[in-house]
Structure 1
Amino acid sequence: MRQRLGAGLLAAVLTMAASAPGADTAGEFDYYVMALSWSPNWCALEGDRRQSPQCEEDHGWILHGLWPQYETGWPDYCASAERAPSRKMTEGMADIMGTSGLAWHQWKKHGTCSGLAARDYFALSRVAYDKVARPAVFRKLDNAVRLPASVVEEAFLKDNPGLSPDMLTVTCRDGYVQEVRVCLTRGLEPRACGADTRHDCTLDDALFTPLR
Structure 2
Amino acid sequence: MFKPVLKALLGVTLVCFGPSASFAGPQGKTTSLLAASWEPAFCEGKSGKPECKSQTADRFDASHFSLHGLWPMRKDYCNVSKADIEADKTGRWDDLPAVTLSAETEKALEKVMPGTQSGLQKHEWLRHGTCTGLSQEDYFKSAISLMDDLNTSAVQALFASHIGKEVTQSDVQAAFDKSFGDGAAERVKMHCEQDGDRRLVTELTIGLGDGTADASLKDRIASAGRTRFDCDRGIVDPVGQQ
Q: Same fold (TM over 0.5)?
A: yes
- 1 or 2 for the larger relative contact order (CA 8 Å, sep ≥6)? 2
Consecutive unaligned residues of structure 1, counting only runs of 5 or more, are: 1-25
Alignment partner of 1:180: what SS? strand
Aligned to 2:157: 136
In the alignment, is residue 158 of structure 1 matched against residue 163 of structure 2? no
TM-score (norm 1): 0.68
Shift of 1:94: 1.2
* Matched letter for residue 48 of structure 1: S
TM-score (norm 2): 0.61
Which of the residues 123, 145, 168 maps onto 1:105? 123
Alignment partner of 2:205: what SS? strand
Q: How does 1:182-193 map to 2 (within 5 A)?
A: 182-187=206-211, 188=215, 189-191=220-222, 193=224
**Contact 1:111–1:121 at 8 Å: present in 2 too?**
yes
Shift of 1:113: 0.8
User: For 1:117 and 1:154, how far apart are their aligned partners in 2?
Assistant: 35
Shift of 1:52: 2.5
Question: 1:131-181 deviations in whole A, cap 9, x for unaligned?
Answer: 33243132234x512343442232222222265232222122222112122
Aligned CA-pair RMSD: 3.1
Which of the residues 144, 169, 194 maps onto 1:126? 144
Shift of 1:128: 1.9
Question: 1:31-77 deviations in whole A, cap 9, x for unaligned?
Answer: 22111111121122x442434356343412111111111xxxx1111
Q: How many residues align?
A: 177
Alignment partner of 2:43: what SS? helix
1:149–1:176 distance in 2 versus 1, CA, 3 Å: farther
Percent of aligned pairs with the same amino acid: 26
Aligned to 1:114: 132
Structure 1 or 2, whichever has the larger Rg, is 1
Consecutive unaligned residues of structure 2, counting only runs of 5 or more, are: 1-8, 13-29, 82-96
1:43–1:201 distance in 2 versus 1, CA, 3 Å: same
**Contact 1:135–1:159 at 8 Å: present in 2 too?**
no
* Matched letter for residue 68 of structure 2: H
1:139–1:146 distance in 2 versus 1, CA, 3 Å: closer
User: For 2:41 and 2:161, how far apart are their aligned partners in 1?
Assistant: 15
User: For 2:183 and 2:144, how far apart are their aligned partners in 1?
Assistant: 19
Give the structure with the higher percent strand. Answer: 1
User: For 2:182 and 2:239, how far apart are their aligned partners in 1?
Assistant: 27
